[in-house]
């Protein structure tokens, strides 16, 4: 899907996106990951290893009904299931499809 690029909206986290929305990863932040600093660092390293690095494009493929946990996310050529806490650690910028961006500008 072609996009107009990142929007100028307020900072978001991946956990806030709906099914079908796309985004660009801005970075990672330890938002309540684990009970210790080591657990949080370990989870951030796992997310980086999965491809959640600045500039990576991703799409929310599916969400569970109650509580939205887990979230299925496609990044690169792979699809991963993330818990809400993990998705909340991924800082993103929503990508607006060109057709929607053109309609909003009109």
What's the predicted TM-score (pTM) here? 0.77
What are the structural domains of the chain? 3-105 (2.30.30.90)
How far, in Å, CA of 79 to CA of 82, rounded? Answer: 10
Cβ atoms within 10 Å of 48's Cβ, excluding its own:
13
For residue 61, the model assigns a pLDDT of 95
Say if residues 101 and 8 touch (Cβ distance below 8 Å): no
How far, in Å, CA of 41 to CA of 23, rounded? Answer: 23
When mean pLDDT is compared across 1-5, 47-51, 68-72, the lowest value belongs to: 1-5
For every residue of 77-98, which 3-state class applies, written as one string? CEEEEECHHHHHCEEEEEEEEH
Whole-number average pLDDT of the chain: 82
For residue 1, the model assigns a pLDDT of 41
Tokens of residue 82, six digits: 């993330």
């Amino acid at each position: 899907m072609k996009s107009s690029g990142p929007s100028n909206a307020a900072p978001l986290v991946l956990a806030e996106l709906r099914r079908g929305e796309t985004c660009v990863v801005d970075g990672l932040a330890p938002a309540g990951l684990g009970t210790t600093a080591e657990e949080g660092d370990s989870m951030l390293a796992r997310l980086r290893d999965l491809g959640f690095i600045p500039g990576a494009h991703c799409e929310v493929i599916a969400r569970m009904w109650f509580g939205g946990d887990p979230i299925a996310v496609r990044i690169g050529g792979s699809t991963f299931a993330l818990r809400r806490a993990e998705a909340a650690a991924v800082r993103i910028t929503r990508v607006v499809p060109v057709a929607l961006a053109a309609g909003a500008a009109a």
